Structures are given as structure tokens and as C-alpha cells.
Amino acid sequence: MAYQNIKKMFSTTTIHFAITIPNLPSSLAHWPNTLGTHMLPTPCEKDSIRRAIEKADTDVALIDQEITRLNEVLAHAKLRRAEMCRHGEAHKALLAPVRRCPNEILSEIFIYWSDEERHQNEMPWRTGSICRRWREIALSTSALWSDIVIVHRDGERRRGVQRHEMLLELFRRTGTSCPLSCPPRTAG
């Protein structure tokens, strides 16, 4: 496959190429009366058969090279397709309906979500890691920070208690208006 031209334009890449695939010999079998039999070829026929085998091997190698080049182009196209899919998905997020939701409604949703027992260890940490806007809403929603569960491993009890005390002190200094409950728990 000979690359004739690779042209980059504003939004496309065009690759022009030619593929060389050898044709089969005009007669599929030079020795139709001999193939499929147990007849021995003559010395002259043996040389001719060897040349046919060498030619076939050479042609197979050429076709393999063309297949390799086609696979490279295909791999490039698949890579570009994946990039385009990621690009499209990233831009779809800009049109998500949640972006139109007022901060007050999101705050209420966060509070409701955090009240569920199974989410207590995740709130408000996970909500604040989604995006800058959600982090700001989570930080400004004091109800999310009034009941924080700190779970530490058995071997880290001392460090977990220190973190617990530091967090309580941090909230006392920031003057949160909600009652604060921050019991340390040990993971089992």
C-alpha cells in the first residue's frame, strides 16, 4: 500500500492509498493432471513447481504486508473514533439538565441523599468531588457537615481520633450554625 497523500484540513484527515494484491496465475494449477494424484513429477516439472511455490510465497508475503498496512490505517481510524466519542460525551455533559437546576434545589437533593443510611460514609465527600459547582454547594450547605462519620481501621485508632478532634476543632472555629455530631467509628 503506497501512501499517496496525507492531507490535514480544518476538521478532517484524509488518507489516500493504493493496495497491491497479486492475482492468481491464469491457470489455477499448472499441472491439473498431476494434482490430487500420486504421480511423481518429472525433473523439469519439479523446477517449475518450485518456482510456483516461491512465487506463491512471495505473493503471500506481499499480501501480508498490505494487510499490516491496512490494519495500521484501521487502528488509526479506531483511535480517532474513540477520541471523537470521548469529545462528544464531554460536550454532552454541557447540556445536561442538572446544569439548569438551581443551587438551592441541588442543596436539598444533597441533604436528602445524605440522610439515607447507606450514604452516610460518602457524604459530603463524594458530592464535593463531582465538580467545582457541586463542591461549592456542598461546602455552603451546613446541614451536610453537621453529622459526619469518620471510620478508621483498628490499627489506626490513635490517628483516627486525632483527625476526629482536628475536624471538630475546625468546625468550631468556622462557626457552623448546625448542631455538630462527629462520632468516631472503627471499621470492622
- Residue 25 pLDDT > 70: yes
Run of H or E residues at 173? helix 157-174
- Kindly report which listed range (2-11, 101-110, 169-178) carries the lowest average pLDDT score: 2-11
**Is the backbone of residue 7 left (phi > 0), alpha (psi -120 to 50) or beta?**
beta
Beta strands in the chain (DSSP E): 2-8, 13-18, 150-152, 184-186
- Residue 55 pLDDT > 70: yes
- Residue 48 pLDDT > 90: no
- The more confident residue out of 111 and 66 is 66
- Kindly report which listed range (35-39, 90-94, 102-106, 168-172) carries the lowest average pLDDT score: 168-172
Mean pLDDT for all residues in the chain: 76
pTM exceeds 0.85 for this model: no
Q: What does the DSSP 8-state code read for residue 116?
A: S
**Is the backbone of residue 151 left (phi > 0), alpha (psi -120 to 50) or beta?**
beta
pLDDT computed for residue 71 by the predictor = 94
Query: Of 21, 3, 14, which Cα lies nearest the Cα of 59?
Result: 21
| Cα(17)–Cα(132) distance, integer angstroms | 47
* Residue extents of the structural domains in the chain: 2-23+41-95, 101-186
Beta strands in 38-91 (DSSP E): none
- The more confident residue out of 92 and 27 is 92
Which residue in this structure is represented by grid cell 500420486? 38
pLDDT computed for residue 26 by the predictor = 67
Summarised one tens digit per residue, pLDDT across range 147-170 is: 666 666 666 666 666 666 766 666
For residue 183, what are the contacts with CB-CB under 8 A and spacing of at least 6?
Answer: 149, 150
Phi, psi of 64 (to 5 degrees): -60, -40
Query: How many CB atoms are closer than 10 A to CB 138?
Result: 22
